[in-house]
Amino acid sequence: MSVVGGLWKRSALALLLVPALAGAARAFDREGIEVINRNYTAMMEALEADPADGVDAPLDAAYRLLNHGEDRPKANEDGPAGSAAAPAGSTRQGVVGKALVAPILQQVALEVGSMGHRELMEAAAPSGGEVLVVKAGSLTLSALPDALESSGWQDFLTGADGNYSLNIPLVIMEDGTLVIGPGDRLEMATDRGAFILNLGTLTVTDATVTGSDARPRLSDFHPFILTARGGRAAITGSRFSNLGFDTRPLMSGLAFGSSPFASLKSQGTVSDTVFDNVRSVEVTGIEDFVFSRNRIQKARGIGLRLDKLKGGAIRDNVIIKSGMHGMLALGSTGLEVAGNISAENGGRGFFGRDGVGHLVVADNVFVANEDEGVAVAGGSCVDIRGNAVLRNRRDGINVSQSLGVRLAGNLLVRNQGAGISINDSISPADSVEVTQNRFVANNVGITAERFSAIRLSGNNLSDQLPVLFGGALQYDTPRYLGWVRAHEDDPEAVFEISSARGGSPLIFQGDSNGMFRLSDMTGCHFEELK
């Protein structure tokens, strides 16, 4: 074919597309976009407010962004949804003692590993290898100095009238309980390697816990609190700052850890609490964890790290300006991530990978993150619905190597990559459902590479013109525009795109009618859209 002939054919195709493009352009919703922009601006202003004012103002603004200007219903006066009562601890008078730290860390290592323990013992060397222990019974922080004075250990915890400094590592043993109560302020001595290891029961209510500004023996050490080996912790209405032994697992600030094989799992709930300049909040291997109405700001690492959880609810939190991802979920199942704001983080707003399953990511706002707003790699039964994903530096939503995925009812605005990106399917029998999403001025609307099948229905791309599809989907643009014109009065109609191109990393090949179908084994059940 001559060059002139090729140009003529492309010009003719462009002329044929003009009516379809014009029809879509007539649906441009200038007023609706102005409402989105106003609500976005109001939410970003609320995020800059004093964190001591709580999370209500930014969550109210986020709700208006998600619900076209409607006001958020009043919160349940009985407390945040999914919250639990404080763990029951001992009512006996507390008994304190001293112990060597090495044998205790060896017991912890049997369940959650020993990485970082050698450096931890070096950081805590000023204590001579010893720790203070709450051996049994219950003690409040204000009663602890008197208990120590009777044994001549008053230098371990100094201060009075609600202001205390912990100068030695503290371990709460299995039968012990420590209560840090309203108005208490506990500063852990960074230069003396102080930390709290909770193997029993810890309650922190309306209190402040911080690491001191003193220079540590190891440059990246900051105090931390770890609940492990069946320990129980309930934290509410408090503030944590200057915590986290950088890059050491489960020493990142506030952490909960259990082995998948442990007969007694650690338990934890955290609500209405502010985390400022911690490395991370980290949760590994526990069940039914509840994290609600908290604010994590300027975390030095990942804001909230969730590893191998079973069940649990992450609701109504504000996570802003983390050094890495806002939230990371690894190999967790049955997790609900709902009603959160994840903004201006150094990585993704939310990243689920390495076997996350039966995951719901709903009614969140992911905005201005340095990478994707939402990314899932290696997941199954993933329902990403009703989120606002705006102005992220790469894709709005990116899904790869996953099964049983639904992307529904999301608002995708001005992301610098694609609004939705789908890549690297792992079964030819699987399809991704993309329904009732709205796309506004993303770099590309929807892009895909090495995919099996994508089912589109009820999506609004009228404000996404001119680049609707990218990657391998771009060749289906004319067919899609014709289909839209033919089904203007049928919102339930489905436009399906399938791909069987070579080079796809599908783990099953051949006749899908007779082979083992992994997609049939996922047991996905998605909530009906409202």
Q: How confident is the model at residue 289 (pLDDT cuts 50, 70, 90)?
A: very high
- Using omega within 30 degrees of 0 as the cis cutoff, is the peptide bond preceding 145 cis? no
d(CA 446, CA 444): 6
Q: How confident is the model at residue 90 (pLDDT cuts 50, 70, 90)?
A: low
CATH for the 86-273 domain, from 3.40.50.720, 2.160.20.10, 2.60.40.1220, 3.90.550.10: 2.160.20.10
pLDDT average, residue stretch 445-464: 95
Architecture of domain 301-530: 3 Solenoid (2.160)
pLDDT surpasses 60 at 358 = yes
Q: How confident is the model at residue 89 (pLDDT cuts 50, 70, 90)?
A: low
H helices of 352-476, in order, are: none
The whole-number pLDDT of residue 75 equals 66
Q: How confident is the model at residue 58 (pLDDT cuts 50, 70, 90)?
A: very high
Q: Which residues contact 358 (CB under 8 A, 6 or more apart)?
A: 333, 334, 335, 380, 381, 523, 524
d(CA 457, CA 442): 19
Q: Output the CA torsion 483→488→492→494 (10° steps).
A: 10
pLDDT average, residue stretch 344-356: 97
C-alpha angle 132/133/134, rounded to 5°? 135
d(CA 44, CA 41): 5
DSSP 8-state symbol, 7: H
Quickly list DSSP for 213-274: SSPPSSTT----EEE-TT-EEEEES-EEEEE--TT-TT-SEEEEE--TT-SS--EEEEES-E
The whole-number pLDDT of residue 500 equals 57
Q: How confident is the model at residue 507 (pLDDT cuts 50, 70, 90)?
A: very low
| pLDDT digits 0-9 by tens, 112-124 | 888 889 999 999 9
Quickly list DSSP for 486-521: HTTT-TT--EEEE---TT---S--S-TTTS--GGGG
pLDDT surpasses 90 at 377 = yes
d(CA 232, CA 266): 6
**Higher per-residue confidence, 320 vs 428:** 320
d(CA 8, CA 14): 10
96: phi > 0 → left, psi -120 to 50 → alpha, else beta; which?
Answer: beta
Indicate the burial class of 187 (C-beta count within 10 angstroms; 0-12, 13-18, 19 or more).
Answer: buried
**Higher per-residue confidence, 401 vs 86:** 401
Q: How confident is the model at residue 132 (pLDDT cuts 50, 70, 90)?
A: very high
d(CA 530, CA 521): 27
pLDDT surpasses 60 at 281 = yes
| pLDDT digits 0-9 by tens, 476-491 | 999 999 999 999 889 8
The whole-number pLDDT of residue 516 equals 32
**What is the reported pTM?**
0.90
d(CA 148, CA 151): 5
Partners of 369 in the β-ladder: none
Closest CA to 427 of 502, 501, 359, 516: 516
Most confident of the ranges 20-24, 43-47, 87-91, 257-261 = 43-47
pLDDT surpasses 60 at 513 = no
Compute the half-sphere exposure of residue 462: CA atoms within 13 Å on the CB side of its CA: 17
Q: What's the mean per-residue pLDDT of the chain? A: 88
454 token code pair: 């994508």
68 token code pair: 């076209």
SS3 state of residue 174: strand
| pLDDT digits 0-9 by tens, 2-14 | 444 443 443 444 4
| pLDDT digits 0-9 by tens, 212-238 | 999 999 889 999 999 999 999 999 999
**Higher per-residue confidence, 74 vs 501:** 74
d(CA 212, CA 163): 13
Percent of the chain with pLDDT over 70: 87
CA dihedral for 186, 187, 190, 193, sign (positive or negative): negative
The ranges of the chain annotated as CATH 2.160.20.10 are 86-273, 301-530
Which contacts of 141-150 are long-range, i.e. CB under 8 A and separated by 24 or more positions?
141/178, 141/179, 141/180, 141/181, 141/184, 141/186, 141/207, 142/181, 142/184, 143/94, 144/94, 144/96, 144/178, 147/94, 147/96, 148/96
The whole-number pLDDT of residue 91 equals 58
C-alpha angle 444/446/449, rounded to 5°? 110
Q: Which residues contact 493 (CB under 8 A, 6 or more apart)?
A: 457, 483, 487
Number of residues assigned to the chain: 530
Pairing of strands 411-413, 295-297: unpaired
SS3 state of residue 49: coil
pLDDT surpasses 70 at 172 = yes
